[in-house]
Amino acid sequence: MSITLKSPADIAAMRIAGRLAAELLDYITPFIQPGITTNEIDKLCYDYQVNVQHSIPAPLNYAPGGHTPYPRSICTSVNQQICHGVPNDKALKAGDILNIDVTPIKDGWHGDSSRMYYVGQVAPHAKRLCEITYECMWRGIDQVRPGATLGDIGHAIQVFAEAQGYSVVREFCGHGIGKKFHEEPQVLHYGRPGTGLRLEAGMVFTIEPMINAGRREIRQMPDGWTIATKDRSLSAQWEHTVVVTDQGYEVLTVSDATPPPPDFIRQRSHGTAKT
């Protein structure tokens, strides 16, 4: 496994790309209303990246082995869709939950983040799923420090999610990131403590748990990209990009309007949730 440790200059550049990802998610927030289509959301995000941020949307035409090029600039996963949802012309309706996943490239560096959005008023069980998934992400982030392992991250997420009656998607995971969209290591959202790669300062990767209200099994939709729950239960995902620091971690995908960390994180001393 070849891990690229990032230098202070690299991390400074990734901090800029990460902030652009967060600011793009801030920008789109007021547009998430009943009646808008995910294609319209995609167009707004594309125009903002290209014309305002002067960045490049990494997902557009991204084509890993075995896939046709991804046709949009963001991913929009609605309700039972887990990840990689392809924007389309179907209007969102009140009660939907929506994940928007963005990855702008700035000066060659990638910033990768996603958030959950409520379309109008949503049911309490849908809101709870989104809130628990957010805490799952942060419980994973809270494990990040030199000497910890990837298994520590996955275990913290899995134990918390399953204690709430939810399941963790296993086919997709977080990943290293930098000049490339997807680098080593793979960051599983389940696992055993003390196992897997040991973390070192300078590692940069995403933590992006996908949590299902029902069973963890998945199905691929006919478009070849969109992944949904096999039992059609709701799914939620949150994502941050983090760097391992000498003392703990720094979250790179932050902006002035980024949702705040949970209370238990703000009481910790080894992490930096804001730059």
Q: What is the pTM of this model?
A: 0.95
**Residue 51 confidence (pLDDT):** 98
User: H-helix or E-strand containing 160?
Assistant: helix 150-163
| Phi and psi torsions of 71, nearest 5° | -90, 0
**Residue 269 confidence (pLDDT):** 52
**Residue 176 confidence (pLDDT):** 98
Q: In the chain, at which residue ranges do the beta strands (DSSP E only) sit?
A: 56-57, 75-78, 81-83, 97-102, 104-106, 109-110, 113-118, 167-168, 174-176, 183-187, 204-207, 210-212, 218-220, 227-229, 235-237, 240-244, 249-251, 271-272
In sequence order, what DSSP letters do the residues of 29-66 get, joined into one string?
A: GGG--TT-BHHHHHHHHHHIIIIII--EETTTT---TT
**Residue 66 confidence (pLDDT):** 79
Q: Which two tokens stand for residue 254?
A: 């932050």
Which one-letter DSSP state was computed for residue 68?
A: P
Query: How far is it, in rounded angstroms, from Cα 197 to Cα 185?
Result: 8
User: H-helix or E-strand containing 11?
Assistant: helix 8-28
**Residue 274 confidence (pLDDT):** 40
Q: Which residues of the chain have pLDDT under 70?
A: 1, 268-275
Residue 140 one-letter amino acid? G
Domains by residue range for the chain, with CATH:
8-265 (3.90.230.10)
The residue among 122, 60, 57, 68 whose CA lies nearest residue 93 is: 122
Tell me the pLDDT tens digit for each residue of 107-144: 999 999 999 999 999 999 999 999 999 999 999 999 99
**Residue 240 confidence (pLDDT):** 98
